[in-house]
Amino acid sequence: MDRTQEAFADFQPTAITDGGYLGRMQVVNEQEVHLKTKLDTELKAVNTRLKAARVCVSVRQSGNCLQLRSTLPIKPGDIDKNGKETKQYDISLGIPFNFDGLMTAEEEAYELGKLIARKQFQWTDKYLGKIKVKANTKTIGELIRDFERNYFQTRKRTLRSENSFSSYLYIARKHLPEDKLAINANFIDAVKSCSSSDSVKNELIKVIRVLCKCSEIEVPELHNLKIPSIAKRKRDIPTDLEIEQEYLKFESYALKRPSKLEFREDRHNWKLWRWVYGMLAAYGLRPLEIFVNPDLNWWLSPENTMNTWRVNEECKTGEREVLPLYPHWVESFILKGDREAMELLKMKIANKVTSKQINAARHGTDRWFRFVGVAFQPYDLRHAWAIRAHLMGIPIKAAADNLGHSVNMHTSIYQKWFSLENRNVAIEQAMKKKSKTEELQERIIQLERENQRLRRQKVSP
């Protein structure tokens, strides 16, 4: 384990429900504060060791870099107002403020201390700062090659952070010109020349910001840049009936396969993906939340009377327990009864520990939706869950927590995909509730009048 990851051993992030950019940035900011505290502690330890060894050099932080501070002979071209032959200087060697940098700075401090003690110090190009390499002489490809190392210099390496990094790296490699210099103009040109959708362009902007921040390069033109979305993506959210009908396609696909395939070892794999389909529909899960350390012991436990699914802490928004919106789908989709499917899941994820390995297993969801001819995408089941919860009158906070969303994200999602038909259903249900309420109020008034009439008759002679 490297020093940065060792520093995160006691890091406990605040639980979040926002799976979007703001939620990820909250975790990143908390990690940066935690790491800064650890680095400050190590910096003090370095200076304590130097002082104990009677080295007349100290190490100090300046921005994102480290400097050596010592009293040295007057620098060429400099003067001392008091006529002294020595002066205190801060020497920059281009050493970054991280654990590797602290180790290097300590070594350099000992080396400089020896030169001073032996009266051999001279103002060479190294100490004058004339051999420092400028960051903007690097190519974008060089930044990308160092991206992983730099990214995890300030972040705890987990499945969640590895997933984020993998998506950043994929976008960077696909859309950035690696042979060009890492300067503002080339990053801006990459965004402008991107032929993908507006949402991909905005993701590219985010990736460039992260890449440049990790590489300590400023791209001020991208700080507030956002591509306004012109074309609205069309997404057909499946109805409950459509979800139940599409579920049957998995078995139909298996029955229609050529008979020679019935002797293959993977002939029953369709049962796993049918089970995954049912879990996505009933619980509104992200596909990855089924494959990351699934707690099948709890899932099948007699104590799990509410049929909750436990999402692992390594997933996008941390751990949570998820309830089904339609409890009867747990039975009709055989979610607890299909033990063969769950054994296939165990086999699918066995010995898969890295983000890349688990994602490779999860990608089978998209492939099998296409194989069997499901008329929508896996994530449409999640959006359908959000819309269904709204139509059922589930409080937004409860629905958002169940999905691992912030309230704002949850609201924006169901509003974005709320079709004309769903709006009509919502209005009709609201009117029915209003009519029922008015009917009950009228009935209460009638009963009160009847009670008053009966009381008057009782007191009459």
Which amino acid, residue 257?
Answer: R
- Assess whether 156 carries a catalytic annotation: no
Bridge partners (DSSP) of residue 181 are 139
The single residue of 34, 155, 405, 410 carrying the catalytic annotation is 405
Q: Which of 201, 310, 316, 388 is catalytic?
A: 316
Catalytic residue flag (residue 286):
yes
On the CB side of 8, how many CA atoms lie within 13 Å of its CA? Answer: 19
| Residues paired with residue 60 on neighbouring β-strands, in sequence order | 67
Question: 182 CB contacts (<8 Å, ≥6 apart)?
Answer: 135, 136, 138, 139, 140, 142, 143, 212, 215, 217
Question: What strand order describes the sheet that includes 65-73?
Answer: 58-62, 65-73, 86-96
For residue 378, give Cα distances in angstroms to 50, 276, 277, 278, 386.
59, 10, 8, 11, 14
User: Residue 196 and residue 192: Cα distance in Å, rounded?
Assistant: 10
Catalytic residue flag (residue 414): yes
As a whole number of angstroms, the distance between CA 312 and CA 308 comes to: 13
- Examine the residue annotation and report whether 235 is marked as an active-site residue of this protein: no
User: Phi first, then psi: what are they for 74, rounded to 5°?
Assistant: -55, 130
CA distances from 379 to 136, 307, 350, 374, 385 (A): 41, 22, 25, 12, 10
Q: Which one of 382, 383, 388, 410 is the catalytic residue?
A: 382
User: Across 258-417, where does the E strand assignment appear?
Assistant: 309-311, 320-322
Q: Which of 194, 164, 190 is nearest to 178 (CA)?
A: 190
Task: Say whether 87 sits in a helix, a strand or coil.
Answer: strand
Q: Strand, helix or coil at 124?
A: coil
For the question of residue 209 being annotated catalytic, the response is no
Residue 100 in tokens: 């590797």
For the chain, count helices (H), then strands (E): 22, 5
Report how far residue 205's alpha carbon sits from residue 382's, in angstroms, rounded to the nearest whole number: 27
Catalytic residue among 201, 274, 286, 320: 286
Active site residues: 286, 316, 382, 405, 414
